[in-house]
Each structure stands twice: as C-alpha cells, then as structure tokens.
C-alpha cells in the first residue's frame, strides 16, 4: 500500500453471534475498534443463527462501517430445484476433498472452497445425494461401525450443513479480514484469503475451540460419540484458521498458550489486552442518580443468559442477604437475549422470597457503577471481562469466578498492586456467598481492593493501550501491502 492512499485500508470485521445484535463483551470491543480507526473503512460480516436476527441491531453503527453482510447458519438452500444439475455428482478431486474433511485427514480445503463457490450448487442435493452418502459410509466403516448407520448419517448431515452454508457465502473483497474468533468466522477469513490473497488476523477473546468443547460436554441434545465428532469439527476449523492467519491475538498469556497447544504457530501469536475508556467512569454532575446510602450495593453488569449463571448469583446473594440485610443486588443488563432464562431468574427471586434484587435492563452503566460497593460476575465462561475492568475504573473491587482471565485481573500478573477482589470456583454458592459477606463486612477492604483494581487497570488496560496495539498491527499490515 503506497503513501498516496495514506495507508487507508478496507477491513472486513468478521463476528459470530455478537455484534451488532447484543451489547457488551466482544460486541463492545468490536464497536470500540471500528470507532477507534475512522481513517479505515470497515465492512462487517456477521454470523447469526437464522433470519429472525436480520437487521435487529443493538448498536448505532459507526460512520466508517459502510456495509453489513449477514450469514445464517440455520438457513434454507436457495438454489431452485431445477438448477445445478451438472453439479449433481462430484469429480474425483472434489470427492477426495470431501472425504478428507469427514475423516479429518490432511483436509483439502482449497478444492472445497472452490466447490462451494459454484453459484448453482445445491446443498440439498449434496447432503441427500450419493457422494455425501458414500463419503459418510467410508467414515462410518473406518471409525464408528458400532453405532446405527442411519443415526450417524443424519447427524453428519446436521453437523456439516452449517459449515457448507458458510462455505457458500460470497465473501466481500477487503484488504484485511479481521476475524474475532476461529470457527465459522475463521473459515470465512480463510475463504477470503484464498480468493483475494488478502491479509488475515484472528483475535480470540475466548478460545473458541475450548468454549465449544465445554458447551458440548455439558449439552444434553448430543450424546456419546457425537459429542466427539462435533468437537473434532470445531478443532479442524480452528486449525485451518491458525495455519492461514498472519497474526493471532489473545487477551492474556494463558489464552496464548492454549492457542499454541491447539496448533497455532507460536511465532504468530500476540497478547493484546482489553482496554476501557476510564474517563467514562469519572463521577460528573450528570450522574444525578443517588442510591440508598444505608444499603451495600452489589453490581452485576451482564447479559441475563445461562453462560453468566445468574441463578447461582441469585442463590448466593439470598444466603448473604440473610446475614447482612442491608445488601442490595443490581443486575444490570439486557434480559431479551434469552427471555425464557431471564424469566426463570426472576421467578427464582420470587421463589426464594429474597428482597432487594433489581433487574434494571439496559442502563448507562457508569451512572450506576460509581455508586456500587462491589461488582460480581458468576460466569461459567469468560475471556477478559470488561465488566471487571469497568468496575476498577470506578474504584470498585470485584468478585468473580475462576474463568478466563479473572484470576489475572483480580490477583495480578507480575504487578505489585495487590488483590483487587475475591476469586471463587464456578457454580459454588457457598464460596460466592462468603465472598459477598467478606466485602460486605469490611468497608476498608472494599476501598483498598478497589484502589488496587484502579491502579491495575490504569497500568495496562486503558483504551489507549489497546488502540496503540491495533494501530501498530493495522499499520504494519498496510505497509506489507
């Protein structure tokens, strides 16, 4: 890229299941990155479950985000019945590539990308046709002859349909594909790299393969060997993304080590911590909301979804409230992402007859956070939670489960600031209750830990630090072009 273009790039940000449909977490990070680089043009390729999400954006899109493309993993085959007859059977190269994918043996991705890029290629005809049947049968005979073949065949169709829909996507042209996960997002980035020879950066907030593996192990909708087949599917997609990317970033060192363990070359890995705008949490005259001064306020900034394990939070708070009646819990975040779960959480509050639990819905977090006495996060999975850092910006200590980088944020990673909160085990009501009580009993400890957290946040988790890291990444890529 030459100087006459001022190193301006067209960047395709690829997201899965987050931006711009839900707020917080990864979505906030993507929104912040796009707004931070107005000199670049961004387009968004976003992956969601189905067309019910179409255009339902929770964010006002930045001016430099010029186009949004949506990919639906639960979609119909839009090829008309009379089309694509010449692609009814695969040639030898295509069939061998398909078989390598099913067997996960030296997967031949390039011929697969070329196969699925054909405009009049029917996925229905492939999945229900003789070539897919034969490849599945070979896989079955080699690896899984102990299960019922008809079940195996239909499961393989359901496993591969989302991937095939992904590979059918007509990826837009860009100078750089920046994928905020491996998985299906990584596949799209690899497709674009294969088609346009563009640059590819992967930024993982959680380790995609590990998160999917944890979900599948707990899942009730899939059993036996099929759990392993699904896990293998996500691993092969991540392996491709790692092999094609020029740079793979993570939020903290342990996540980087996991990426390397999963096959990412060490030399292309880089740690780029989250960053927040600390100035948003400075108390101003505009923050006129005043909460009860005689209460001890516990703030949970989260989406009311199962991964945040709000039910454990409510149970632990109920026990703590029995010991310290002055406690009040504020659950700050949207309840519409999983309405059924949110309703169950509200019913649990009623069943336990616990008072002083408030579901605020979406709020301007800084207006509330400065009046909290502590923040709390009881998630079963996290990356590097922004809510903990935002609490630190407001000088508040954090209670968090030992997931993602919560341990590093609370106890530090090579700094001497001291504990900034209390870490607990996942789904451990007794420990979480004890942590709430420990901070409730001691204002001095809350103040000391809150100051430790503020110093830790200011030392390496400011928005300016994150912007500087990605400014260098984007500048270096522009210089290569």
Per-residue pLDDT of the chain (481 residues; tens, 9 = 90+): 333 346 789 999 999 999 999 888 899 999 999 999 999 999 999 999 999 989 889 999 999 999 999 999 998 776 655 554 454 589 999 999 999 999 999 999 999 999 998 867 788 889 999 999 999 999 999 999 999 999 999 999 999 999 999 999 999 999 999 999 999 999 999 999 999 999 999 999 989 999 999 889 888 889 899 999 999 999 999 999 999 999 999 999 999 999 999 999 999 999 999 999 999 898 776 665 678 889 999 999 999 999 999 999 999 999 999 999 999 999 999 998 899 999 999 999 999 999 999 999 988 899 899 999 999 999 998 989 999 999 999 999 999 999 999 999 999 998 999 999 999 999 999 999 999 999 999 999 999 999 999 999 999 999 999 999 999 999 999 887 7
Shared domain check, 327 and 229: no
Q: Quick one: 256 and 362 in the same domain?
A: no
CA distance readout (Å), 402 to 44, 316, 382: 33, 16, 9
User: Does one domain contain both 102 and 219?
Assistant: no
Range of the domain at 385: 278-460
Q: CATH number for the domain including 356?
A: 3.40.50.2000
Q: Count of domains in the chain?
A: 3
Please tell me whether residues 47 and 69 are part of one structural domain: yes
Q: Which residue has the tokens 């740690």?
A: 271
Closest CA to 408 of 382, 435, 375: 382
Angle at 103 between CA 101 and CA 107, to 5 degrees: 35
* 327 and 388 fall within a common domain: yes
Torsion of CA 140, 143, 145, 151, to 10 degrees: -50
Whether 111 and 227 share a structural domain: no
E-assigned strand segments in 156-215: 176-179, 199-203
Decide the pairing of beta strands 176-179 and 357-361.
unpaired
Of the candidates 316, 306, 300, 430, the residue with the CA atom closest to the CA atom of residue 358: 300
pTM: 0.90
Residue 95's SS3 state is: helix
Residues 286 and 431 in one domain: yes
Q: In this predicted structure, what is the pLDDT of residue 389?
A: 96
Same domain, 170 and 255: yes
Identify which of 339, 356, 328 has the alpha carbon closest to the alpha carbon of residue 304.
339
257/259 Cα distance (integer angstroms): 5
Gap between the Cα atoms of 252 and 257, Å rounded: 9
Domain boundary among 163, 189, 206: 163
Q: Are 167 and 112 in contact (CB under 8 A)?
A: yes
Whether 283 and 229 share a structural domain: no
Q: What is the pLDDT of residue 320?
A: 98
Same domain, 123 and 265: no
63 and 171, same structural domain? yes
């Amino acid at each position: 890229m030459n100087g006459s273009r001022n190193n301006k790039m067209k960047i395709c940000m690829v997201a899965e299941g987050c931006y711009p449909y839900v707020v917080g977490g990864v979505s906030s990070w993507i929104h912040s990155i796009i707004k931070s680089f107005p000199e670049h043009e961004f387009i968004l390729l976003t992956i969601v479950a189905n067309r019910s999400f179409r255009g339902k954006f929770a964010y006002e899109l930045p001016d430099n985000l010029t186009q949004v493309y949506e990919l639906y993993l639960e979609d119909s085959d839009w090829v008309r019945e009379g089309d694509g007859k010449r692609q009814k059977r695969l040639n030898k190269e295509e069939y061998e590539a398909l078989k390598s994918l099913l067997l996960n043996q030296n997967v031949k991705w390039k011929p697969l990308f070329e196969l699925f890029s054909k405009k009049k290629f029917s996925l229905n005809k492939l999945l229900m046709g003789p070539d897919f049947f034969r490849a599945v049968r070979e896989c079955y005979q080699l690896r899984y002859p102990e299960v019922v073949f008809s079940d195996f065949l239909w499961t393989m169709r359901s496993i591969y349909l989302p991937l095939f829909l992904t590979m059918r996507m007509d990826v837009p042209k860009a100078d750089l594909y920046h994928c905020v996960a491996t998985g299906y997002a990584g596949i799209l980035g690899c497709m674009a790299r294969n088609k346009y020879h563009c640059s590819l950066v992967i930024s993982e907030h959680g380790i995609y393969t590990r998160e999917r593996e944890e979900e599948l192990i707990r899942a009730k909708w899939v059993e036996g060997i099929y759990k392993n087949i699904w896990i293998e599917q996500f691993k092969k997609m991540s392996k491709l993304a790692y092999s094609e990317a020029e740079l793979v970033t993570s939020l903290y060192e342990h996540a980087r080590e996991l990426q390397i363990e999963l096959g990412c070359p060490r030399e292309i890995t880089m740690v780029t911590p989250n960053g927040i705008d600390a100035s948003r949490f400075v108390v101003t005259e505009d923050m006129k909301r005043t909460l009860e001064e005689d209460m001890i306020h516990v703030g949970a900034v989260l989406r009311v979804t199962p991964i945040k394990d709000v039910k454990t939070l409510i149970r632990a708070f109920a026990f703590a409230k029995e010991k310290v009646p002055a406690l009040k819990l504020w659950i700050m975040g949207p309840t519409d992402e999983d309405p059924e779960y949110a309703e169950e959480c509200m019913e649990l509050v009623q069943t336990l007859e616990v008072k002083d639990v408030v579901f605020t819905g979406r709020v301007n977090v800084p207006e509330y956070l400065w009046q909290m006495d502590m923040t709390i996060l009881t998630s079963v999975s996290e990356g590097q939670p922004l809510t903990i850092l935002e609490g630190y910006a407001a000088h508040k200590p954090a209670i968090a489960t030992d997931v993602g980088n919560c341990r590093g944020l609370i106890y530090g990673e090579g700094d001497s600031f001291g504990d900034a909160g209390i870490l607990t085990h996942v789904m451990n009501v007794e420990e979480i209750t004890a942590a709430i009580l420990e901070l409730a009993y001691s204002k001095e400890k809350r103040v000391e830990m809150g100051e430790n957290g503020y110093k830790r946040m200011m030392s390496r988790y400011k928005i300016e630090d994150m912007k500087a890291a990605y400014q260098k990444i984007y500048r270096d890529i522009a210089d290569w072009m």
